[in-house]
Amino acid sequence: MKRDKWADFKRIIGDGDFESALCAVDEALASLQKKYGPALVSVMLFGSLARKSRTYNDIDLLLVTEESLGSTHQVTKELSQEIFGHLFWEHGELFSFLVYSKAQFEGLRGYLPLFDEVERDGVLLYGQDLFAETSG
């Protein structure tokens, strides 16, 4: 199955109802790349927005980094204060995110149901498509 890439996804989905979400994701990507640089391996969009549902509640992102970034509490606080809070105030979009190191991602593939969902519906926003690289 060919995976949508971000530029194709944006073209297919158009603006309209999704305009603020598309802007928020673009800004989130730019901020994440600036913050993590080459340590950011992959960013994928999944969940209801990736399925193009007009009734999406929030924007789900899967981030994979070269090394572990620390505890979930720390990462959540840091990203909320530096990136996602601002994006809510600017665009009215709420983000939920999961962060894994590449090693953690590889170790969990195959038995995490959420990854099945990302593999099926996910949109590659940035970096490597880790599902394509490890499948088959």
Binding site for another protein (CB under 8 A): 57-58, 68, 72-73, 76-77, 79-81, 84-89, 92, 94-98, 100, 104, 107-108, 111-112, 114
CA distance 6 to 4: 7
3-state class (DSSP) for residue 15 = coil
- Shortest distance in whole angstroms from residue 104 CB to another protein: 6
Question: What phi and psi values does residue 48 have, to the nearest 5 degrees?
Answer: -65, -35
The token pair at 109 is 């593939």
The token pair at 14 is 């158009």
**98 or 123: CB nearest another protein:** 98
- Shortest distance in whole angstroms from residue 22 CB to another protein: 16
- Shortest distance in whole angstroms from residue 80 CB to another protein: 4
**14 or 92: CB nearest another protein:** 92
**30 or 114: CB nearest another protein:** 114
**63 or 124: CB nearest another protein:** 63
CA distance 38 to 126: 11
CA distance 98 to 75: 10
